Structure 1
Amino acid sequence: MFALQSTAPSLAPPVAMLVVFALLGAVVGAVGSAVARRLSNPVAKYRVLYAGVLLPFALLAYGVLALLGFGGAVAATALGGTDGVAATLLADFVGLLGAGLVGLAAYAPTVRGVRAVRDIDLSTGRALARMARYVVGLSAVVAVVIAPLRLTGTASPLGLAGVFVLVVAATLVGSPWIVAAVRSTATPTGATRERVDALRERAGLDVRDVRVLDTDDEETATVHVRGPPGYRRLFVTTTFLDRFDDDTAAALLAVEAGRIEAHVLPARAGSVVAAAVPLVASVAGRGPRWVLLGAAFVALGVGFGLCRRGVRAADDHAAARVGADAVADALERYADVHGMEPTRRRVPNPLSINVALGDRIDRLRER
């Protein structure tokens, strides 16, 4: 991805490997979906499947395709060379898009299973179209962000760690525009706008503007705030507005306000960055390898612990605003709408950035 070869690589081997990975991805997705459907709390298991299996598989495909020079081969074939700004951007974009296509191939067989366990009317074609738009948009954004590093020829391992930090920072700052670019959004008007404004005031959530995401097919009732201080944008789904009454919606918005207060999103990004830098340094041989690997593991564990602490602090903030029982009821209603069974853990998962939903509910009930 970060170093174009001086001679144009052959296009046939990476294309063949892309086809192989896509076929394997479809098999992995189908098998994973079949297993997830048969487990208890299948909706939660699908989330684990996406984050723990399909995403790493797509990243593996990206790494192999990069080693085979997939992006450079496409750029050389399309533009007649691998030098210059256009070739650099095209090579990176195509390399990322190739991994995205593998991810889509793995995701496609799971849509039918999700539709069954959640009892929703979500067609595979529409789900893939929405995901494809997201993949294309994200690939374009990342390709543009890393272009300066590529063009200046600073593609050292430590330089890669630096560009990773840059990508994370740019994503955090530019997320209000990135989400709007890769998802279909609308500005609320009339009664919807008045309702959202009233709910925000009740929850104590201060944002600059609001966008509504169309999720009528997948029935995902979520709310997120993205962007830097001074330009925070609230993204709320149509399902959130349709399925939740005002008490539930206000409580969930109050939790989101608490997450801003507790800096949960920056803590998550910082945890990944803090672990990535020593990890890359260890791979590059820029210090004692095992010490650096240990430092990366410790940074990840400490960072994720702070993230879980932030989640609990956000719940406390919301409880102080609208009442602990109201927040607990809202979380239970959230789980019910998504067909989830609130999970509980005797011992917290040290590699999780979230607190189990059932544990959050129990903690609020005890207040």
Structure 2
Amino acid sequence: MFLVVVLAVIGLSLGALGSAIVQRLSNPVARYRQLYLGVLLPFALLSYAVFRLLGFGYAVAGGGTGTVGTLLATFIELLVAGAVGLAAYAPTVRGVRSVRDIELSTGRALARMGRYVLGLSVFATVVIAPLETGLPSVVLLAAVAVLVVAVQAAAPWIIPVVRSVRRPDESTGATLNRLRERAGLTVRDVRILDTDREEMADTTVRGVPGYRRLFVTSTFLDAFDDETATALLAVQAGRQDARVLARVVGGLLLTLVPLFVALADVGPLWPLVGVSLGLVVGSLWVARRGVRAADDHAADRVGPDAVADALERYAAVHDMEPSRRRFANPFSKSPPLGNRIDRLREQAAE
């Protein structure tokens, strides 16, 4: 337990220092996202690697080596690593609250993230634990692929487990149906995510053809007028048409193939790791192409100026400055928001 305390203290210090630096940078909201993805998440993964190397989970679980013992040890290691990540996340909440001027308590933010950590730990346990069972690599790869696809298919029911969700009332439901029809977005039903404290105005569509569910946040309903909401829903319709999520998931599974080949000792480790890294870059390029196709789809539906205005309004609601880059980040699944806006403005001018 001493190791857990040490890593938690390091994480707490890392989060506090990173938050202090980010608040002094331009476009701090976007920088906080980079802090989470580029610093705090890798630190949590490093903590998991340390726990795994030291056999922390087996020590806590009593040293069992059977299937149940493996599952329990893996879950413990993932959950404790997630707790270390939460310790690193905690001191950043105050900074986010300051730069976005929102009323989000640290306790509420940690409770919400704790639900994510718990759900992700369960999912990752099911993926990781079989790797220690000695099954052939082909079987393991197939099992991981089936599990990932199954989770995506079950997402309409999984999200309500880890998030606070409610059905729209009759008036709100009628409004959303009208906006969806204007946007060309086809889903089976709608659920509203409670984000009044976080003020995150987002939409997402999850599920398989025939049962796709639209999730909109309560802030989305409050912050955007009908024109803006329609344009953003049209972007979601474009993502559905361009199969952006399928591109991301398919790319992820493709990048795992060389790693499982290396696991089977069929080929040299580091060249195969290099191939996997190349596939990551290539699959993310394909995903960015899908995002551009989704913007084009929305522009054809409601007009490029309307989509550009909606993206600018989206950035304003989240206190973000739309970022622009001469060259896209090869490890990003979406082009910079500012570049997307500029591209739509050019289409409108033409």
Q: Report the alpha carbon displacement of residue 27 of structure 1 after superposing the two structures with TM.
A: 1.2
Q: Report the alpha carbon displacement of residue 28 of structure 1 after superposing the two structures with TM.
A: 1.2
Q: What's the counterpart of residue 45 of structure 2?
A: 59
The size of the alignment, in residue pairs, is: 347
Q: Report the alpha carbon displacement of residue 45 of structure 1 after superposing the two structures with TM.
A: 0.5
SS where residue 333 of structure 1 aligns? helix
Higher mean Cα deviation, 101-110 or 133-142? 133-142
Question: Is structure 2 residue 249 aligned with structure 1 residue 266?
Answer: no
Q: What's the counterpart of residue 103 of structure 2?
A: 121
The 3 A distance-change label for structure 1 pair 60 and 162 is farther
Could you list the per-position Cα deviations for residues 117-169 of structure 1 after superposition, in whole angstroms to 9, with x for gaps in the alignment?
Answer: 1111111011001111121122223334556x369x23677766555434432
Q: Report the alpha carbon displacement of residue 326 of structure 1 after superposing the two structures with TM.
A: 0.6
Q: Report the alpha carbon displacement of residue 40 of structure 1 after superposing the two structures with TM.
A: 0.9
SS where residue 232 of structure 1 aligns? strand
Aligned residue among 28, 36, 57 for 1:71: 57
Question: What is the distance in 2 between the residues matched to 1:70 and 1:193?
Answer: 49
SS where residue 186 of structure 2 aligns? coil
Matched letter for residue 92 of structure 1 = T
Q: What's the counterpart of residue 4 of structure 1?
A: none
Could you list the per-position Cα deviations for residues 211-258 of structure 1 after superposition, in whole angstroms to 9, with x for gaps in the alignment?
Answer: 110000010000000112222111110000000011101110110111
Q: What's the counterpart of residue 294 of structure 2?
A: 314
Q: What's the counterpart of residue 38 of structure 1?
A: 24
Q: Report the alpha carbon displacement of residue 342 of structure 1 after superposing the two structures with TM.
A: 0.4
The 3 A distance-change label for structure 1 pair 23 and 155 is farther
Aligned residue among 158, 163, 174 for 2:154: 174
The 3 A distance-change label for structure 1 pair 21 and 167 is farther
Q: What's the counterpart of residue 220 of structure 2?
A: 240
SS where residue 38 of structure 1 aligns? coil
Q: What's the counterpart of residue 337 of structure 1?
A: 317
Q: What's the counterpart of residue 277 of structure 2?
A: 297
Q: What's the counterpart of residue 351 of structure 1?
A: 331
Q: What's the counterpart of residue 94 of structure 1?
A: 76
Aligned residue among 195, 208, 219 for 1:228: 208
TM-score by structure 2 length?
A: 0.93
Q: What's the counterpart of residue 23 of structure 1?
A: 9
Q: Which runs of 5+ in 2 are unaligned?
A: none
Could you list the per-position Cα deviations for residues 167-223 of structure 1 after superposition, in whole angstroms to 9, with x for gaps in the alignment?
Answer: 432332222222111111001121111111111111111111111100000100000
Q: What's the counterpart of residue 193 of structure 1?
A: 173
Question: What is the distance in 2 between the residues matched to 1:109 and 1:196?
Answer: 37
SS where residue 227 of structure 1 aligns? strand
Higher mean Cα deviation, 158-167 or 215-224? 158-167
Q: Report the alpha carbon displacement of residue 83 of structure 1 after superposing the two structures with TM.
A: 4.9
Question: What is the distance in 2 between the residues matched to 1:345 and 1:269?
Answer: 25
For the Cα contact (< 8 Å) 2:127–2:144, is it kept in 1?
no
Matched letter for residue 67 of structure 1 = L
Q: What's the counterpart of residue 323 of structure 1?
A: 303
For the Cα contact (< 8 Å) 2:201–2:318, is it kept in 1?
yes
Question: Is structure 2 residue 108 aligned with structure 1 residue 104?
Answer: no
For the Cα contact (< 8 Å) 1:88–1:150, is it kept in 2?
no
TM-score by structure 1 length?
A: 0.89
Alignment of 1:277-296 (within 5 A): 277-282=257-262, 285-296=265-276
Q: Report the alpha carbon displacement of residue 282 of structure 1 after superposing the two structures with TM.
A: 4.0
Q: Report the alpha carbon displacement of residue 22 of structure 1 after superposing the two structures with TM.
A: 1.1
For the Cα contact (< 8 Å) 2:19–2:32, is it kept in 1?
yes
Question: Is structure 2 residue 190 aligned with structure 1 residue 204?
Answer: no
Matched letter for residue 275 of structure 1 = T
SS where residue 349 of structure 1 aligns? coil
Q: Report the alpha carbon displacement of residue 307 of structure 1 after superposing the two structures with TM.
A: 0.7
Could you list the per-position Cα deviations for residues 84-127 of structure 1 after superposition, in whole angstroms to 9, with x for gaps in the alignment?
Answer: 55434332321211111011011001101111111111110110
For the Cα contact (< 8 Å) 1:226–1:234, is it kept in 2?
yes
